[in-house]
Amino acid sequence: MLDTTPLTRAVEHFADRLRAAPQSRLQRGAAAEALGLARELALRAQRLEDPSREPLEMPDAGMFAAADQITLAGNDLAVVLTSEDGVAEAVRVVEEAQKRAGV
């Protein structure tokens, strides 16, 4: 069984940082970055799960939902990943998004 713990930890860390961030930081782009990440993770999960189906875009549920959205999308992706390289790539994407978000 594939160990996706590095991905779920990275996602949880980013989500925790978002939850602790002041509203001003979220408004300055951290929430938008998180939504972009959530959409990317959700897209990857949907493509792996059913490549023949057109992926759905995660809606913008507001800046205070961004942490929950990346948690949901990251956990969905962790369920469908099939390789260690896929896990490592997803962790890299999460960590880069967190750096861009500044949290």
Find the distance separating the first CA and the last CA of the chain, reported in whole Å: 32
Q: Determine the pLDDT at residue 33.
A: 97
Note whether 35 and 66 are within 8 A (CB).
yes
d(CA 10, CA 75): 11
Determine the Cα angle at 41 with ends 66 and 77, to 5°.
115
pTM of the model: 0.95
Q: What is the pLDDT of residues 43-102, one digit of tens each?
A: 999 999 999 999 999 999 999 999 999 999 999 999 999 999 999 999 999 999 999 999
d(CA 42, CA 52): 15
Q: Determine the pLDDT at residue 1.
A: 85
Where are the chain's structural domains?
5-101
